[in-house]
Amino acid sequence: MRNFAFSSAENVDQAVSSERGNAGEASYIAGGTTLIDLVKLDVMRPVQVIDLNRLPLREVERLDDGRLRIGALVSNTDLAHHPLVTQHYPLLSQALLAGASTQLRNMASTGGNVMQRTRCPYFRDVAAACNKRAPGSGCDALEGVNRMHALLGTSEHCIATHPSDMCVAMTALGATLTLEGPNGTREIAFGDFHRLPMDRPDLEHELEPDELITHVTLDTPVVGGGSHYLKLRDRASYEFALASAAAMVAVEDGVIREARLALGGVATKPWRAVEAEQALAGKPARTESFEKAAEIALSDAVPREHNAFKVPLARQAIVRALEKASAASKHH
Amino acid sequence: MDTQVIGHRTPRVDGEFKLTGRADYTVDWQAQNMLYGYPVPASIAHGTLEKLHLDTARAMPGVVDIFHHGHFPKLYRSPNSPTHQDQVSEVRLPFEDERIHYDGQYIALVVAESFEQARAAAHAVHADYRRESGAIASLLDTDREGRLLASEGASRGDPEKAFDEAPVKIDHTYHIAAESHMQMEVHATLAEWRDERLIVHESSQGVVYQHKAMARIFGLPDESVEVVSHYIGSGFGNKLFMWPHAVATAGAAQMLGRPVKTILSRQQDMESGGNRPASRQRLRLAADPDGRLVSMRHDSTTETSFVHRYVDSLGSATPSLYACDNVAISQRLLEVHHGTPCPMRAPGETSGIHALETALDELAVELEMDPLELRRRNYADQDPASELPWSSKHLDDCYTSAAKRFGWERRDPAPGAMRDGDEIIGWGMATASWPALRMPCAARVELRDDGSVMAACGTQDIGTGTYTIVAQTVAELSGVPLKDIEVRLGESTLPAGPLSGGSMVTATALPAVAAALRNAFDALKEVATGEGGAFEGSDPESLEIEGGALKDDQGKRVSFGEMLTQQKLGSVNGEGQAAPGDEKGQYSFRSFGAHFVEVRWDPGISRLRVARVVSSIDIGRAINPSAARNQVEGSIVMGIGMALTEKLDYDPRDARLINNNYADYIVPCHADMPEIGVELLDNPDYAFNEFGARGVGEIGLTGIAAAIGNAVYHATGKRIRDLPITLEKVMDT
Amino acid sequence: MNMKEYSRQGDEAGSAETAVTLSVNGEMHQLRISPNVVLLDALRDRLGLTGTKKGCDHGQCGACTVHLDGQAINSCLKLAVMCEGHEVTTVEGLANDAGLHPVQQAFLEHDAYQCGFCTPGQMMSATALLEDERIGTDDAAVREAMSGNICRCGAYKNILAAIQTARGQGQAAPTAGKTS
């Protein structure tokens, strides 16, 4: 892979100021599991790499308002096994452990997982047309081998799937990202962070070039909610999802009080199925309600030549995840 | 044969090297003053290279040279002769011309001082191409039929007439996607010239073949080339014959006068380092109402590239597996624009038996007959193809034993009838088979004055356990403990041994090692009975070998080491040769087995998993039962991949490989492993060789995908005739 | 067996190199490397510790697994310059003067390998998981935790048996003798 200048940031201020002036040519590195992979393919070409690992962003703490604040450098493994996560956000723990492998989870950071890039093979091949990698070059996936590609949130310019499992759980749970930049700190709702590809698939998120994710703060847990993360894939482990569903359901007297639903493997960003959630509220916690929600969640799906099966597959993931979540709800 | 070492489970004698990181695989070697090569692959599959832009790359740090068409030594294509053992995987030489025949074909080789520099510079090489339309991505994407190969056809009786007149018949076509070997150690070469002599470290399943091919290509006498491959991060067939990267590396080393090491990237390995070709097979089977086969026709098409002719013989097992008077096989070959296919574990028959065993399951459904019973009714007591008796066949015992251990008698034949919670259970079975091959072989043994023994043979251990079975053979015949036996393999300068392919090493090499050892014993007896020897004046014939010592009928016993030390000799040597003899015309040699498989299908989430595999395999005597069973267990895991997930995806528009990595080409991971129960029958086949052993590296892969597919049918009622059986082919939509 | 007879060479060529001190298997090594050198290549090409293998170079196979401060990681995705101040353990650090590590011994006894190329990575994952109380001890948990180490030879069954034996529970070590 091409060479680059390397430096370590000692604190957040230094991290954000050292990147200033090199916008677009500098990359942060935390776990490195995305960056190094893509630099080796010549897909990412940083001139400068800034190591974040000395920053004090490894804490997981419960805030006074009941929310959970996660430092951006907390590893996927540590987050998945953290007592506050396994106790209050088992959905997140399940999703994290469904992703990647032990080794990758040990390396990958929370902030880095949010910034994870697509597995689209045309994005990863510098000889292929890809609007995300080379804006304006076209999209070879549209008419190409697109079995793994997205159904939801696509455009005529990009159908690349967002690969993260963690982000699917976070978008279902509700979270806020804390961003630090030269002009100070700002917060953004997790659901607003990732952008749809539209006509600029290269613009993947709302982070400015000189900004850094410092924390992810999860909303307070839904009282009495049962949850389940279901990931469907070709083999039993160590593979990206064909379709996944993060479901959380609070059931009282057999009726759904509140539901959360997000999808992975089928969308261009971590996909919260808000209309399906609304349709579930007040309905009986039964398979028919879940099937209806699944229909709604996939109603805007745009299948391609090889991924049409993911429409029914995602529906199945939703129904089964909702069934399991409902069964786990404390008040059913 | 009552044995002390052979036939007993034996921890690998090379185990400690592998477990401590000291085993020297090709990629681990470094030479003084060594450079790193990194190939530049073409990014089109069909066209011409018009211009290479090298200036940027040449100016990058550490870059020493960039080789390409017009800047490379003039070499000679190998004759590619199996008889003369100079076969290669691709006869086209690297950088021969500017034609591009497949995606990933090398258009240049960057050589630099470090690996990072070579790779970075390779990424900075840009090429202009003249693309041509009409690239054929795969046999699966085209209606082209390919050329009929007269050499691959065979027939007996009148299968067409018998088919037309039969009451029960099936006629189906099966497709199998191209597969990648995905051996853990990618192809790698370290080439070094010392004076006019070429020394090559290569991850190779055939050091003798590669050394001869290199000699032809570089116009050198055989003795001027040496190929070394002590440890191989497996091969599964794609390292049998040399690929162009090795020639490119040796040529670069020659021009630069420095050693060059090239390790392919995984992507390059998958694009240009071999694959199991995709296939199309039409099976027409007919039976009488009692299930006796009256006609079998097996017509196949496989792929090759435009630069090499590789024929995967799909129908070769079909005439021998079942008793049937009317049989015909044919094969076609279709050229496609992707990397050259090559043998992959149980080549040909893995694909062919898959189609045949699936078709038999379909016939059993037509007959409303248990699929195991159908196979029993067509049991071939002799080889119907050669009409020779089998040297040893115990397939009936395999059926009985595996069925019993599996619980086959509890099978409800109705598809979908067996359930467990959300899951539907499917049970299927298939026959496994692979020919027993044996070639001529030479070996050398040294008995040393320190009491140790060294045995050497120019074959390889690709992970099957060759080091260990050679040591076991020496230990068995000499009584010397395993710890005092050194085995040398993987060097072309050793007495010529076989390719690590065709499951032939055990039956080929062990008799040669035994012959060499006996000759060494004779030499030792001569020393012992000669002047000043411990048994001076005795008849050499009267001496026996026991426990690493010579013994006479008076009970006198002198160890090998003592004897040699006494005579001031460092060692005595024995060279030995062994080859198949008259038995070849008297018997047919083939191994058989049976797989029984349970799959679990959860229709609510379209999840298909293999839950249980029970196999009984008859390979004659297993020299090392633990390593032998490991081979079958590993084959089962590989067969799960073939059945359910493995497929090289070539973009139909331009024939470029899409899933060129370990994340997108899906092989089974640990969590995919089912419950596995493998039994090896112990029926020594002494008609085949003195140790009674046939090979075991490949048979386990045959039939396993069919057994899985048949189980999927039993679970779902859906017959998926195209591999892999991915979930979208099975799910209810 | 023959051992590697070629000498190891340090690579001093190239530009923009930085000095890095790596602690590997308890030994300190000073290197000058460029920032784009990953730990895997530093171990193999610079330090001659070739027991750690490259199977995919992209974190997709697990052959390059080493410990960084006791945790299993893919050394192919870790920049060597980022490892300063951390303890790296490779397969060469498993055995000691007393002999093989219990995991190595169990791999030997259970024939938990074939070609041996993925084996160092398998054992590094195995030793890490046996020390990690967050990972379950039942077969299913072990198999899931070990799924980041591909074995194309398919020796998973024996790998599982070896790990559980090394743990001191599950299957007993097989005894020598004739089996069918």
B205-224: average pLDDT = 98
Instruction: pLDDT band for A332, please (50, 70, 90 cuts).
Output: low
| CATH code: domain of residue A45 | 3.30.43
Residue C77 and residue C109 share a domain: no
Give pTM, 2 decimals. 0.97
pLDDT interval class at A22 (50, 70, 90): very low
Asked if residue B320 belongs to a domain, the reply is no
pLDDT for res C176: 38
Helix H, strand E, coil C: the string for A36-77 is HHHHHCCCCCCCEEEECCCCCCCCEEECCCCCEEEECCCEHH
pLDDT at B18: 98
Per-residue model confidence (pLDDT) at position C16: 74
Q: How many Å apart are CA B381 and CA B406, to the nearest integer?
A: 25
Residue pLDDT, tens place only, B264-303 = 999 999 999 999 999 999 999 999 999 999 999 999 999 9
> Contact B119/A40, CB-based, under 8 Å?
yes
Last residue of a domain, one of B552, B579, B606: B579
Give C7's pLDDT tier (boundaries 50, 70, 90). very low
In a domain, B147, yes or no: no
Establish if C179 belongs to a structural domain. no
Nearest to B605 among A125, A237, A320 (CB): A320
Length of chain C counted residue by residue: 180
For residues B10-36, give the mean pLDDT.
Answer: 98
pLDDT score for A24: 56
User: Closest by alpha carbon to A260, among A145, A169, A155, A147?
Assistant: A169
- Within 8 A by CB and 6+ apart from B97, the residues are B69
The answer to the question of residue B664 being in a domain is yes
Instruction: Answer yes or no: are the C-beta atoms of C146 and A103 closer than 8 Å.
Output: no
Same domain, B483 and B566: yes
Does B1 score more than 90 pLDDT?
no
Q: Is the dihedral of CA B232, B235, B241, B245 positive or negative?
A: negative
Closest approach of A140 to chain B, Cα-based (Å): 10
Closest-CA residue of B relative to A1 is: B120
DSSP C24: E
pLDDT band for position A210 (50/70/90)?
confident
Tokens of C80: 């060597």
Chain A residues within 8 A of C15 when measuring between CB atoms: 3
Instruction: Please indicate, yes or no, whether residues B684 and B696 belong to a single structural domain of this protein.
Output: yes
For residue A270, the enclosing domain spans 225-328
Is B158's pLDDT higher than 60? yes
Range in B9-13, B120-124, C9-13 with the lowest mean pLDDT = C9-13
Core vs surface per residue B577-589: b (16+ CB within 10 A) or e = ebebeeeeeebbb
* Residue A241, min C-alpha distance to chain B (Å): 11
Task: Tell me the pLDDT band of C1, cut-offs 50, 70 and 90.
Answer: very low
Quick one: pLDDT at residue A330?
79
Q: Is the confidence at residue B389, as pLDDT, over 60?
A: yes
Assign residue B115 the CATH number of its domain. Answer: 3.90.1170.50
CATH number at residue B549: 3.30.365.10
pLDDT tens for B541-595 read: 999 999 999 999 999 999 999 999 999 999 999 999 999 999 999 999 999 999 9
For residues B188 and B217, membership in a common domain is answered with: yes
**Are C143 and B671 an interchain contact pair (Cβ–Cβ within 8 Å)?**
yes
Supply the pLDDT for residue C168. Answer: 86
Q: Return the biggest CA–CA distance within chain B.
A: 88
The percentage of chain B sitting over the pLDDT mark of 70, rounded to a whole number, equals 100
Total domain count for chain C? Answer: 2
3-state secondary structure of C177: coil
Q: Flag whether A231 is in a domain.
A: yes
- Residue C124's domain is classified under what CATH number? 1.10.150.120
Hey, what are B90's tokens? 């691709």
Query: ipTM, 2 decimals?
Result: 0.98
* CA distance, residue B732 to nearest chain A CA (Å): 8
In angstroms, what CA-CA distances link A209 with A7, A12, A27, A167, C153?
A: 17, 14, 9, 21, 45
How far, in Å, CA of B213 to CA of B241, rounded? 9
The CA distance from B530 to A317, in Å, is: 83
Asked if residue B361 and residue B216 are part of one domain, the reply reads no
- Give the number of domains in chain B: 3
Looking at the fold, whether B461 and B482 belong to one and the same domain comes out as: yes
Q: What is the pLDDT of residue C13?
A: 38
Asked whether residue B707 is domain-assigned, the answer is yes
Say if the Cβ atoms of A4 and C125 lie within 8 Å. Answer: no
* Domain stop point among C48, C74, C93: C93
Q: Answer yes or no: is A209 within a domain.
A: no
C4, part of any domain: no
* Nearest residue, CB atoms, B606 vs list A237, A239, A313: A313
Q: Do the domain assignments include residue A199?
A: no
Residue B172 lies in a domain: no
Based on the domain organization, do B433 and B454 belong to the same domain?
Answer: no
Q: What is the pLDDT of residue A25?
A: 80
Residue B61 contacts residue B183 (beta carbons within 8 Å): no
Output the average pLDDT for chain B: 97
Q: Which 98-157 residues of chain C touch chain A by CB within 8 A?
A: 125, 128-129, 134-135, 143-150
Taking an 8 Å cut-off on Cβ atoms, the answer to whether C36 and A2 are in contact is: yes
Going by their DSSP bridges, the two strands B147-148 and B607-618 should be labelled as unpaired
Residues B691 and B568 in one domain: no
Domain that holds residue C38: 18-93
* Claim to verify: residue C29 and residue C81 sit in the same structural domain: yes
Are C118 and C81 members of one domain? Answer: no
User: Residue A34: is its pLDDT beyond 50?
Assistant: yes
Decide if C145 is inside a domain: yes
User: Cα(C1)–Cα(B456) distance, rounded to whole angstroms?
Assistant: 11
Mean pLDDT score, B25-49: 98
Task: With respect to residue B178, please indicate whether it lies within any of the assigned structural domains.
Answer: no
Tell me if C55 and B185 make a contact (CB, 8 A cut-off): yes
B725 and B603 inside one domain = yes
Looking at the structure, do residues B522 and B472 belong to the same domain, yes or no?
yes
**What percent of chain A is modeled with pLDDT above 90?**
94
Please report whether residue A313 resides in a domain.
Answer: yes
Instruction: Report the residue from C35, C72, C82 with minimal CB separation from A53.
Output: C82
Sign, CA torsion B334/B668/B270/C122: negative
Question: What pLDDT does C3 receive?
Answer: 35
Residue A189, in any domain of the structure = no
User: For position B498, what pLDDT does the model report?
Assistant: 98
Asked if residues C137 and C130 have their Cβ atoms less than 8 Å apart, the reply is no
Residues B123, B260 within the same domain: yes
Looking at residue A331, what is its pLDDT?
A: 66
pLDDT at C74 over 60: yes
* Average pLDDT over all residues of chain A: 96
Record: contact B673-C157, CB cut-off 8 A: yes
- Indicate the number of domains in chain A: 2
Contact state of A309 with B605 under an 8 Å Cβ cutoff: no
How far apart (Å, rounded) are the C-alpha atoms in residues B155 and A76?
61
Range of the domain at B661: 348-437+589-730
Per the domain annotation, does C119 fall within a domain? yes
Same domain, yes or no, for B539 and B621?
Answer: no
Residue C177 domain-assigned (yes or no): no
Sorting pLDDT into bands at 50, 70 and 90, what band is A19?
A: low
Position A14 in a domain: yes
Residue C25 lies in a domain: yes
Share of chain C above pLDDT 70, in %: 85
Compute the average pLDDT of residues B673-693: 97
Residue A114 lies in a domain: no
Q: What CATH number does the domain containing A301 carry?
A: 3.30.390.50
Per DSSP, helices labelled H in chain C are: 39-41, 102-110, 119-131, 139-145, 156-167
Mean pLDDT value across residues C58-86: 98
Tokens for C67? 């410990």
Closest CA to A2 of B255, C34, B347: C34
Does residue C180 belong to any structural domain of this protein? no
**CB-neighbour burial class of residue B175 (10 A; exposed 0-12, middle 13-18, buried 19+):** middle
Please indicate, yes or no, whether residues B417 and B490 belong to a single structural domain of this protein.
no
Per-residue confidence (pLDDT) for residue A129, from 0 to 100: 98
Handedness of CA B152, B157, B161, B167 (dihedral sign): negative
B556, B579, B602 - which closes a domain: B579
Tell whether A306 is covered by a domain: yes
Asked whether residue B294 is assigned to any structural domain, the reply reads no
pLDDT > 70 fraction of chain A, expressed in percent and rounded: 97
For residue B698, indicate whether it is catalytic.
yes
**Which residue from B minimizes the CA distance to A101?**
B669
- CA-based torsion, C135, C137, C140, C144: positive or negative: positive
Task: Please say if the pLDDT value at position B65 is more than 60.
Answer: yes
Q: How many residues does chain B have?
A: 733
Would C13 be classed as within a structural domain?
no
Chain A residues with CB-CB distance to C35 below 8 A: 3-6, 49
Where a domain ends, among A51, A72, A88? A51
Q: From CA A217, how far away is CA A111, in angstroms rounded?
A: 11
Does residue C64 share a domain with residue C112? no
